[in-house]
Amino acid sequence: TTSKRLADRKIAKFQKNITKRGSVPETTVKKGNDYPVGPILLGFFVFVVIGSSLFQIIRTATSGGMA
Contact yes or no for 60/67 (Cβ under 8 A): yes
Number of Cβ within a 10 Å radius of residue 6: 10
| 29-44 per-position pLDDT tens digit | 666 666 788 889 999 9
For the cut 80, the answer to whether the pLDDT of residue 24 exceeds it is: no
In degrees rounded to 5, what are phi and psi of residue 2? Answer: -65, -45
> How many CA atoms, within 13 angstroms, populate the side-chain half-sphere of residue 35?
6
Q: State the pTM of this model.
A: 0.43
* Residue 21: predicted pLDDT: 63
Among 64, 47, 45, 67, smallest CA distance to 56 is for 67
How confident is the model over 6-21, as a mean pLDDT? 80
